[in-house]
Amino acid sequence: MCQLVSFFKKTINFLFLELFKINDSAQKIALGVGLGVFSGLMPGTGPIFALFLAFIFKANRASALLGSLFTNTWLSLVTFILAIKTGSVILKMSWQEVQQKALILIKDFSWVKFFKLSFSDVLLPIVIGYLIIGLILGFLGYLITLLIIRRNSYGNKKNYS
């Protein structure tokens, strides 16, 4: 167990250091991280979508990839219930019913059940919840990265503003 913790610490330190060695403006690096965090939270998207968003928004692709890999899958699972609750509140639905239907679908998944399921009953609240959580955490990732880059002079950045 101790070796696993040590491995994760070394990996996070390596990614952190590599992120700040990127030779680009602070804005582009931070935007890349924010887009990566956002896309990493979206189930079924991840690194490819992060690179696509970085290309569209002219953000740093390496930082978008790192942000996506950092949050991909494991954080999506952690935020599943929060996404259900958030989406249900916005759509004025019972989050317990949405959660129950989603868990039934996950437990006994089949494409027939998936297509019989009403999109607005289960999937829409979950998607809306993930979008909102992704936007919030992506924005926080952007701000935190920008603050760290501006406070510390890691590497040779083109522009810290």
Q: For residue 18, what pLDDT is reported?
A: 63
Tokens of 63: 């930082």
If DSSP states are collapsed to H, E and C, what string results for 111-161?
Answer: HHHHHHCCHHHHHHHHHHHHHHHHHHHHHHHHHHHHHHHHHCCCCCCCCCC
Judge whether 2 lies within some domain: no
Judge whether 123 lies within some domain: yes
Judge whether 41 lies within some domain: no
Q: For residue 153, what pLDDT is reported?
A: 62
> What range does the domain containing 94 cover?
73-146
- 66-to-18, 51, 62, 83 alpha-carbon distances in Å: 9, 10, 6, 23
Judge whether 113 lies within some domain: yes
Q: For residue 88, what pLDDT is reported?
A: 92
Judge whether 85 lies within some domain: yes
| The one-letter amino acid at 89 | V
Q: For residue 1, what pLDDT is reported?
A: 64
pTM of the model: 0.75
Judge whether 100 lies within some domain: yes
Cβ neighbours for 118, distance < 8 A, ≥ 6 positions apart: none
Q: For residue 35, what pLDDT is reported?
A: 96
Q: For residue 62, what pLDDT is reported?
A: 87
Q: For residue 142, what pLDDT is reported?
A: 97
Q: For residue 107, what pLDDT is reported?
A: 81
Q: What is the mean pLDDT of each run of 10 residues along the chain (161 residues)?
A: 74 64 83 94 86 94 88 77 91 85 77 71 88 95 92 57 48
